[in-house]
Structure 1
Amino acid sequence: MAWRDSRRSRQRLLLFMSAIVLGIAALVAINSFGDNLARSIDEQARELLGADLTLSWNRTPTKRTQQLLKTIGQNRAYEVSFPSLVSIPRTGGVRLAQVKGLEGGFPYYGEWEVEPRSAVASFRRADQRLALVDDALLVQLGAQVGDSVRLGNVSFLIAGRVEKTPGQAAIAATVAPTVFVPNQYLSKTGLLQRGSRVNYKYYYQFAPGTDVARTIRPIERRLERAGINVDTVADRKKQTGRAFGDLTKYLSLVAFVALLLGCVGVASAVQLYVKEKVASVAILRTLGASGRQAMLIYLLQTAIMGLIGATLGAVLGSVVQLALPQVFGRFLPIAVQTTLSAPAVLSGIGTGVLIAVLFALLPLLSIRKVSPLRTLRSAYEADTAGRDPLRWLAYGLILAFIVGFAYWQTRNLMLAGWFTAGLALAFGVLTAVALGLIWLVRRLFPASWSYVWRQSLANLYRPNNQTVILVTAIGLGAFLIATLYLTQGLLLSRVELSGSGQQPNMVLFDIQNEQIAGVRKAVQTQKLPILQEVPVVTMRLTGINGRSSAADTARTGESRTMDQPQTARTDTTAPPPWAFTREYRVTYRDSLISSEKAAAGNGPYQANGNVYISVEKDFLSRLRAKIGDTLDFNVQGLPIQTIIGGTREVDWNRVQTNFLVVFPAGVLEQAPQFRVLMTRVPDNQTSARLQRVLVSQFPNVSAIDLGLILKTLDEILGQISFVIRFMALFSILTGLLVLGSSVVLSKYQRLRESVLLRTLGASRAQILQITALEYGLLGLLAALSGILLSVASTWSLARFVFEVPYRANPVPLLVVMAVVTALTVLIGVFNSREVLSRSPLEVLRGEG
C-alpha cells in the first residue's frame, strides 16, 4: 500500500527527503576523513617523530647522564635549539626565528622536503657554513636560496628552502619558522650565553623490531629525575591522534547541526504532505484500515525516502572527503591518504534513516486519529485535536538521540548535555521569534495598508504558512556564519587590546647584565620609551613543605612493601610531579604592577629573616599548596627556602612581564640572571631599524614584535575560519534547500490562493509582489534573529570567557543579513513561478 500510494507523490517525497542529503554528506565526509586521518597517523607514526625515540631537556644533565644518553640506540642525532633574531643582509629583513643546530642523520623516518634536494646531503656533510631555512621565513624576509642569513657573529649560506619537516604542520612553520644550521658552528655565533633559553634533544633510531618502550623502561625513572622528557612513537601517535580526533569530533557536531536543520525541514514537509493525504487516509479507514496501519503506510514511505536521501548523502560525502586534505592541509603534520570508509558510510546512512523517521514521526502521529467520517466532512482539526501522549514519547526519543549522538562524538556526557542544551536554546529562540511574529501580525494586522502588503502579511499566519520552518532553518544558518565572524574578531581583539593605547608592543629578552646599558642606549637612540625593565632569574623547585616528588615516590614504594593501605596518603595532598621537573623564571620586586591584583595575604616581602613570596592564584591551587606553606628552590646550585606570603590575580592578556612567582627585593640580586626590556614602537620601519641594531651589536638579544604576532595570528585564524566556514556552508545550503523544498511542497496550496486572488482581479505583478514581500519579510526576520542570537552568544563569550570589552562591527553583519534576505526572496519567487503562469480557468477545472 505504501508503494501504491507513493506513485503520485514520489517526486515530492524525494524533494523533502533531499533536505537531509547535505547533512549526511557533511557527516560522512568528516567521519571518513577522521577514519582516514587515524589510519594515516598509524601508518606514518614514525614520520611524526622522525625517529624511534626522542629525549629532550633544557638544563645541562650530569656527566653520568650524558654518557648514558650516548649509549642508547643504534643511531642518534643531536639538536640544540633556541629562539633568536636572524637577519638577511641583502634585504635587511629581521625576524625572530627558531634556530636549530643539527648533528647526525635526522630525520631517520619521513622525507625532509628541501628544495633543491641536493642541499640536504651538503648540509649533513657539515664542511661548510650552510643553512636550511623554512619557506615561510624566506618569503617574509624577501630572501632566496643563495643569500646569506646571519646568526649572531656568523653568516651562513642559505643552501635550501625547507618546505616540510617530518612531524611539523605547515601552519607551525608560519608561527615559528626555523633556521637549521650544523651544530658545530653554533658556539661561534655568540648566541649561547649564560641565561640563554636553550633546549637540547637526541633523536634515536633502533634496530627494526625493537620494543622501544621496553628498552628504555629501566632508565625512565633516572631520566625523569634528571628532567629529561621521553617521547616515543607510540606517545606521539597518541597525542596527534587525540588532537586531530577532537577536531573531527567538533566538526562532526557542526555537520550534525546541518543534518538536524534538514530534519526540521523533513518534519515541516511531512506535515504538509500529511494534510494533503487526509482524504486518502479517511478512505483507507472507511475500507477497514486501522489508524495504526494508516500511519505505518506513510511512515514506511518516509523511511524509504530517508534511506534514499541518506544513501545519496553518503555518496556525496565520500566525494567531498577527497577535498578535505586540501582544506585541512596546513594543519596536518602528515599526508592523509583518502579511501572509502565503510564505518563512516554505514553509520551515516543509519543516522540519516533514524533521524528522518524520528522527525517524520511527529506529524505522522496525527494520522492515527483521522476519522472515517472525513469522507463526508472537511473539518481536519476536529478529529486530530487533543493531547497525544505518544507525541511526548517522540520528543523524548529525538532528545535522547541528540544527546546520544553528541556523546558518541565527544565521549563526554557533560559536553553532550551542553551541546544539546545550546542547540535547543537556539532552536527555541528562533521558533519563539517566528511564533511571536505570527501572533503580532494576527493581532496587529494593518488593515489600512495597501492590498499587496495586507496579502503578504496575511500569508505569514494563514494555514500552511512557512514562517516557523523558514525562520528556524535560515536563522540558524545565519547564526552559525555570524557567530563565526564575531568570534574570530573577538579572538583578534583580545590580542589587539594588549597592543593598544600606550602598552608595550615589543619585548627584548635574554639581555645579560653587562649588556643592559648598551641596549637601553640603542632603544633611546631610536627615540623609543623604556616602559619596563625587569630582572629574570632561572631556578628549580625542589620541595613543597619539605616533600619532593622523589621522596613521595620512595615513601609510596615503602608503604607498598609493608602492605600498608595505599589510600593512607591521598593524591590531593601530594606535590604534583610536574612541579619539580619544570624550570621557573621569577623576578624580584616589592610591589605589584598594573597587570596584577592582590588576591589574598601579602607579599612579596622579608620579615624576621624569612623570605615571603607571592604566587599566582591559580598556580597555587595547581601546586596543591596554600598560604603559609614553604617552597624550596634551587637557584643555580644555591638552595633558598621561601614561605608563601600571598597570592595575586594576573591579567595574562596584558603585554607585561607577568610571573607565576615573585620574590621580594634584596634576595636574588646576586644570582645569575638576565633582563627583559619592554618598549613601544610606532611603526614597522622603526621596529625593523631597532632589530637591525640589536642583531649587529647584541646578537644574543631576541625581540618579540607584537605587530608581527598579530599578523601571524590573523593568518592562523583566517585558516581556522575557512575550515569552519567550509562546514557552516553545509548548514546554509541545507537551510536554502529546506526553503526550496518547503516552497515547492506548499505550491499546491499557493496555487489555490493565487487562483482566488486572480479571480478577484489581482494581476500577475501584484501576486509577484505579494510573494516577494512575504519571502523578503521571512528572510529578513530569519537573518535578523540569527544575527541577534549570534551577537548575544558572542557577548557572553567576551564577558564571561575572554573577559574583554565587546564591540561588534555592524557592517559585515548587515552584509550577511542582506545576502540571506536576497537569497530567500530569489528562491521563493523562482519556485513560485508556476503559480504565476497558471490560468484561473485551468486550476478551477482541475478543482472541479
Structure 2
Amino acid sequence: RKVPPLRVLRRELAQADAWTGAAYVSATLAAAALVLWQAGEPRLAAWVLAGTAATAVLLALGAWGLTRLLGRLRGRVGVAWRFGLANVSRRGGASIVQVVAIGLGLMVLLVLTLVRTDLLAGWRASLPPEAPNRFLINVQPGEVEALQAELRAAGLGAATLHPMVRGRLTQIGERPVSAADYPEPRAQRLVEREFNLSWAEAPQPDNRIVAGRWFGPGARAEVSVEQGLAGTLGIRLGDRLRFAVAGQSVEGTVTSLRSVEWDSFHVNFFVVFPPGALDGLPATWITSFHLPAGRQALIAELVRAHPSVTVLDIDALLSKVREIIERVVLGVEYVFLFTLAAGLAVLYAAIQATRDERRYEAALARTLGASRRVVLQGLIAEFAVLGLLAGVLAAAGASALGWGLAQQVFDFPYRPDPLLWLAGAAAGVFGVGLAGLAGTRAVLDQPPLATLRAGV
C-alpha cells in the first residue's frame, strides 16, 4: 500500500523508503548490544566493535579501488566478460556492500582454518630444538645436590635448580593491595593469588633489564619485577613492595624492571630478590630440562628416588591445549559459517532488488544478437569477479591479521602461505558464482519479447 502508483507504471523510478535508514541504524544498535552483552565488559566490546568497523571500512576501500580498476578493463576483454564487468562497475555501491559482507565471513574463516595452523607451526618452529619440555617442582632443599647429580649423570646437562618461595603481595608503597582496587580481571587474579618469589645473583640469560639496575653488591632490601606484572599492577621503580610469607613480612624496593621470554620454557619468576633476602623462609626448588624422545623411563626413576618431586610434562600439556583449541576453533568456524551465509543472503537480496533491471538488460542483449550462452557467461563473469574480489580482500585481511598476531602477540616472524590466497580466491569465485547463478536463473528463463512488452 506504500508503493506509489507511478512506481508500478514506471519501473525505472526508484522507491524512496523513509524507514530504510532507521532499519539500518536499529540493526547496528542491536548488533552492538549483543556484542556488549556477550563480552560482559564495555572495553572489550568497544575494541571488538571498533575492530569490526575498521575492517569493514578497509575492505570497502579495497573493494572500491578494485571495482574502479575493473571498470577500466571492460574494453580489453570479450563480450561476455565486458557484460559481467559492466554490471559490477554499474552497480558499484551494491558490489562494494556484497564484497564487504562476503569478505568478512571469508576472512574470519581463513584466519581460523589456515592462519591458525601457520601461527601454531611458526610458534613451534621458533622454539629452540632443545627447549625444556619437563619441569621438576617441589624439590626439597636436601635433595638439590643429589637431583642435580642424577640429571648430570643421565646426560641432561648441568640443570640449574632455582629456589622458590610462595608469598602474597600485601602492599605497594604506602597503599595496601586489594583486588577491589583494580578494574581488570587479570590484575584482580594476580592480587588474590600467591607469587613465586626467588633470589638470584644475576638475571637469567633470557631476561633483559629494561629500567633501573640489577642488585648491587651486598644488597638485601631490593627487588626486581617483571615489566608486564609491573604494568598490570601499577608498580614503578622506587616503589616498596611488601609480601606476606608464612606469617612473616618481606619488603624490598623495586630497583629494576625486566622483560622475560616466558615462551622459552626456562624457569623464570615475576619477582626476584637478591641472595640472602629470603633466608629462613620455607622454600622449595624448581628446574626445567629437555628430555629426548624415548627416555621417559628416566622420569619414573627420578620419581621413585624423590617421591616428593612433581613432574610437569610440557609436551602433554601442549597437546591438551592444542586439542582444546581445535575444539573451540571448530565451534567458532561453524558460527562464522553463518556469517558467510549472511553475506550470501546479502548477495541474494541485492540480486532480487535488481531482478527487473537484469531481465531488461538480458532482454536487450539478446535482442541485439547476444545468445543465451553469452548472457549466461556474462552473469558467471560478474559473480566470479565479485567472489574473486571478496576472496582476495579476505586473504589480504587474514594475512595482515596473522602478521599482527605473530609480531605483536607471539613475537616471531610470520611467513604468509600462498595457499591462503589460493583458498580465499577459490572459495570466493565458486561460492559467490554458484549463489549468483542460483539467484539470477530466472533472468534467462523469461523470453526477451515478454520482458520488453511488459515495459520492465
Bin the TM-score by the shorter chain. Answer: 0.7 to 0.9
Whether contact under 8 Å (2:64, 2:92) holds in the other structure is no
- Inter-partner Cα distance in structure 1 for 2:192 and 2:42: 34
Q: Alignment partner for residue 840 of structure 1, among 439, 448, 453?
A: 448
Query: Does 1:428 pair with 2:57?
Result: yes
Deviation at 1:714, TM superposition (A): 1.0
Deviation at 1:633, TM superposition (A): 5.3
Report the counterpart of residue 358 of structure 1 in structure 2.
22
Report the counterpart of residue 303 of structure 2 in structure 1.
695
Code of the aligned partner of 1:434: A
Whether contact under 8 Å (1:530, 1:678) holds in the other structure is no
- Inter-partner Cα distance in structure 2 for 1:629 and 1:466: 59
Report the counterpart of residue 358 of structure 2 in structure 1.
750
Query: Does 1:537 pair with 2:145?
Result: no
- Inter-partner Cα distance in structure 2 for 1:839 and 1:579: 73
Q: Alignment partner for residue 645 of structure 1, among 233, 241, 255?
A: 255
- Inter-partner Cα distance in structure 2 for 1:529 and 1:541: 35
Report the counterpart of residue 264 of structure 2 in structure 1.
654
Code of the aligned partner of 2:331: V
Whether contact under 8 Å (2:384, 2:428) holds in the other structure is no
Whether contact under 8 Å (1:480, 1:728) holds in the other structure is yes
Report the counterpart of residue 82 of structure 2 in structure 1.
454
Query: Does 1:774 pair with 2:382?
Result: yes
- Inter-partner Cα distance in structure 1 for 2:64 and 2:361: 22
Whether contact under 8 Å (1:610, 1:643) holds in the other structure is no
Whether contact under 8 Å (2:395, 2:420) holds in the other structure is no
State the TM-score, normalized to the length of structure 1: 0.47
Report the counterpart of residue 445 of structure 1 in structure 2.
73
Q: Which has the larger radius of gyration?
A: 1
- Inter-partner Cα distance in structure 1 for 2:235 and 2:2: 70
Which string of whole-angstrom CA distances, capped at 9 and with x for unpartnered residues, describes residues 184-210 of structure 1?
xxxxxxxxxxxxxxxxxxxxxxxxxxx
Identity among equivalent positions (%) equals: 28
- Inter-partner Cα distance in structure 2 for 1:601 and 1:826: 63
Within 5 Å, which residues of 2 pair with 1:773-812?
773-812=381-420
Report the counterpart of residue 509 of structure 1 in structure 2.
137
Whether contact under 8 Å (2:119, 2:402) holds in the other structure is no
SS of the residue corresponding to residue 198 of structure 2 reads: strand
Taking a change above 3 Å as real, the CA distance of residues 438 and 819 of structure 1, as seen in their structure-2 partners, is closer
Which string of whole-angstrom CA distances, capped at 9 and with x for unpartnered residues, describes residues 204-230 of structure 1?
xxxxxxxxxxxxxxxxxxxxxxxxxxx
Deviates more, 1:711-720 or 1:421-430: 421-430
Whether contact under 8 Å (1:488, 1:717) holds in the other structure is no
Taking a change above 3 Å as real, the CA distance of residues 750 and 715 of structure 1, as seen in their structure-2 partners, is same
Taking a change above 3 Å as real, the CA distance of residues 844 and 633 of structure 1, as seen in their structure-2 partners, is closer
SS of the residue corresponding to residue 459 of structure 1 reads: helix
Taking a change above 3 Å as real, the CA distance of residues 415 and 580 of structure 1, as seen in their structure-2 partners, is closer
Taking a change above 3 Å as real, the CA distance of residues 826 and 531 of structure 1, as seen in their structure-2 partners, is farther
- Inter-partner Cα distance in structure 2 for 1:401 and 1:542: 44
Taking a change above 3 Å as real, the CA distance of residues 703 and 737 of structure 1, as seen in their structure-2 partners, is same
- Inter-partner Cα distance in structure 2 for 1:807 and 1:482: 15
Taking a change above 3 Å as real, the CA distance of residues 843 and 464 of structure 1, as seen in their structure-2 partners, is farther
Report the counterpart of residue 729 of structure 1 in structure 2.
337
Query: Does 1:760 pair with 2:424?
Result: no
Report the counterpart of residue 207 of structure 2 in structure 1.
596
Whether contact under 8 Å (2:201, 2:275) holds in the other structure is yes
Code of the aligned partner of 2:254: I
Taking a change above 3 Å as real, the CA distance of residues 540 and 470 of structure 1, as seen in their structure-2 partners, is closer
- Inter-partner Cα distance in structure 1 for 2:126 and 2:92: 54
- Inter-partner Cα distance in structure 1 for 2:371 and 2:349: 26
Whether contact under 8 Å (1:537, 1:587) holds in the other structure is yes
Query: Does 1:482 pair with 2:110?
Result: yes
Which string of whole-angstrom CA distances, capped at 9 and with x for unpartnered residues, describes residues 807-839 of structure 1?
344435533431232111112223333333444
Report the counterpart of residue 2 of structure 2 in structure 1.
2
- Inter-partner Cα distance in structure 2 for 1:793 and 1:580: 33
Deviation at 1:417, TM superposition (A): 4.2
- Inter-partner Cα distance in structure 1 for 2:47 and 2:169: 39
Report the counterpart of residue 156 of structure 1 in structure 2.
none
Deviation at 1:659, TM superposition (A): 0.9
Deviation at 1:805, TM superposition (A): 3.2
Deviation at 1:454, TM superposition (A): 2.4
Within 5 Å, which residues of 2 pair with 1:293-692?
295=16, 358-359=22-23, 406-407=35-36, 414-442=43-71, 444-462=72-90, 466-485=94-113, 488-489=116-117, 492=120, 496=124, 499-524=127-152, 526-539=154-167, 582-607=193-218, 610-620=220-230, 626-631=236-241, 641-668=251-278, 672-683=282-293, 685-686=294-295, 688-692=296-300
Deviation at 1:582, TM superposition (A): 4.7
Deviation at 1:639, TM superposition (A): 6.1
- Inter-partner Cα distance in structure 1 for 2:4 and 2:79: 44
Which string of whole-angstrom CA distances, capped at 9 and with x for unpartnered residues, describes residues 568-587 of structure 1?
xxx79xxx999997544322
SS of the residue corresponding to residue 89 of structure 2 reads: coil
Taking a change above 3 Å as real, the CA distance of residues 401 and 491 of structure 1, as seen in their structure-2 partners, is same
Deviates more, 1:501-510 or 1:625-634: 625-634
Whether contact under 8 Å (1:587, 1:661) holds in the other structure is yes
Code of the aligned partner of 2:299: Q
- Inter-partner Cα distance in structure 2 for 1:447 and 1:821: 22
Within 5 Å, which residues of 2 pair with 1:21-420?
279=10, 295=16, 358-359=22-23, 406-407=35-36, 414-420=43-49
Taking a change above 3 Å as real, the CA distance of residues 527 and 763 of structure 1, as seen in their structure-2 partners, is farther
State the TM-score, normalized to the length of structure 2: 0.82
Which string of whole-angstrom CA distances, capped at 9 and with x for unpartnered residues, describes residues 361-401 of structure 1?
xxxxxxxxxxxxxxxxxxxxxxxxxxxxxxxxxx7x77666
Report the counterpart of residue 341 of structure 1 in structure 2.
none
- Inter-partner Cα distance in structure 1 for 2:284 and 2:412: 32
User: Higher relative CO (CA 8 A, sep ≥ 6), structure 1 or 2?
Assistant: 2
- Inter-partner Cα distance in structure 2 for 1:783 and 1:708: 37
- Inter-partner Cα distance in structure 2 for 1:530 and 1:458: 72
Deviation at 1:782, TM superposition (A): 0.7
Which string of whole-angstrom CA distances, capped at 9 and with x for unpartnered residues, describes residues 19-65 of structure 1?
xxxxxxxxxxxxxxxxxxxxxxxxxxxxxxxxxxxxxxxxxxxxxxx
- Inter-partner Cα distance in structure 1 for 2:350 and 2:436: 9
Which string of whole-angstrom CA distances, capped at 9 and with x for unpartnered residues, describes residues 736-773 of structure 1?
22223333443332222222322333233322222222
Q: Alignment partner for residue 439 of structure 2, among 831, 834, 839?
A: 831
Taking a change above 3 Å as real, the CA distance of residues 499 and 794 of structure 1, as seen in their structure-2 partners, is closer
Deviation at 1:806, TM superposition (A): 2.8
- Inter-partner Cα distance in structure 2 for 1:781 and 1:580: 50
Code of the aligned partner of 2:64: L
Whether contact under 8 Å (1:751, 1:835) holds in the other structure is yes
Taking a change above 3 Å as real, the CA distance of residues 541 and 749 of structure 1, as seen in their structure-2 partners, is closer
Whether contact under 8 Å (2:392, 2:421) holds in the other structure is no
Deviation at 1:596, TM superposition (A): 1.5
Unaligned runs of 5+ in 1: 6-273, 283-290, 304-355, 361-394, 553-570
Taking a change above 3 Å as real, the CA distance of residues 435 and 634 of structure 1, as seen in their structure-2 partners, is closer
Taking a change above 3 Å as real, the CA distance of residues 646 and 725 of structure 1, as seen in their structure-2 partners, is same
- Inter-partner Cα distance in structure 2 for 1:464 and 1:846: 27
Deviation at 1:506, TM superposition (A): 1.8
- Inter-partner Cα distance in structure 2 for 1:759 and 1:766: 12
